[in-house]
Structure 1
Amino acid sequence: MTAQLDIHRLLDDMEAGIRQQLQDRNITAPVVVGIRTGGVWLADLLAKRLDIAEPIGELDISFYRDDFSRIGLNPKVMPSSLPFDTEDRDILLIDDVIMSGRTIRAAMNELFDYGRPASILLATLIDLGARELPIQPDVTGRTLNLADNQRVKLRGPDPLHIEFQQTTG
């Protein structure tokens, strides 16, 4: 899959899916948290589209990764910022790409260190499958099946676009 994806169409689909999930779960006052970096860009756009007035939270899950001791620290690690209490709150967690589920597991571990949310609704722009953990998004912009030598990356923030890359080896 190397065709161009329309980011605006995917955001429209995500917005509609999130609105439906919020309605189905009777959630009226969610807070939005994005996983750095692409998830934060998406969280900002989706919070505006959903008319969520509270500032968005930003998670940097670098210290929570289960491969931290193997790959080391990301040189661009920044502190997480949650400008609201997470205890008993409904959290809309946003990431750009889900593959193995390990990033989401790390994000949830960090969220629980801040308090026990009432619920977490997970929305991702792209789902690549290939789960290693039983974590599934509630809302996905698009599910893709890539070849072993292909990668996908959200670039931005302005303009926000999806880039496909070929790996060697």
Structure 2
Amino acid sequence: MTALLDVESLLVNICADLSEHLALNHIDSPCVIGIRTGGVWLADHIHKKLGLSEPFGELDISFYRDDFTRIGLNPTVKPSSLPFETEGRDIVLIDDVVMSGRTIRAAMNELFDYGRPASITLVSLIDLNGRELPIQPDIVGQKMTLNDNQQIKLKGPEKLELEVTEK
């Protein structure tokens, strides 16, 4: 059984919530960074919706994961691309699904290797329960709980679709 979720409506809500968050916190020039792969697709969309002129960045956190020696290295590792300084900047970090918090921890470790940001706002399309670290999104499209036999995957990049499938 496969169920598809409406990514477009989730992104509309995320952009509205993020715009409000940025205004309330007096952030007028955020750096948008997506975590490969799904987070980059979402960052592209959000970056365009916010009408930001500065390009967005991409993080490949493969070398920063605390489990890569156990599970192996992603075969499609690419270098991260941050076309701006992060030191003292307000970062909007975007991932497709937050579950354990370990991907976000790895992303923050990598970000701090580039410089010390003024702030990091975490945006996620989906927030799943399963937290192993005390990390949660500031802005989330939808909170979900999956059964043990289910998994979720963002497909794209042309047409973004969230697919929940049975294992």
Is 1:51 the counterpart of 2:51 in the alignment?
yes
1:139 alignment partner in structure 2:
139
Q: What are the residue-to-residue correspondences of 1:87-166 with 2, within 5 Å?
A: 87-166=87-166
Is 1:12 the counterpart of 2:12 in the alignment?
yes
- 3-state DSSP of counterpart to 1:77: coil
What 5-or-longer segments of structure 1 have no aligned partner? Answer: none
Normalized against structure 2, the TM-score is what?
0.97
1:61 alignment partner in structure 2:
61
Alpha-carbon distance in 2 for matches of 1:8, 1:68: 32
Normalized against structure 1, the TM-score is what?
0.96
> CA 1:165/1:3 → structure 2, altered by over 3 Å: closer, same or farther?
closer
- 3-state DSSP of counterpart to 1:52: coil
Q: 1:144 Cα shift?
A: 0.6
Paired residue type of 2:88: D
Paired residue type of 2:133: L
Paired residue type of 2:102: R
2:74 alignment partner in structure 1:
74
Regions of 4+ moved over 6 Å: none
What 5-or-longer segments of structure 2 have no aligned partner? Answer: none
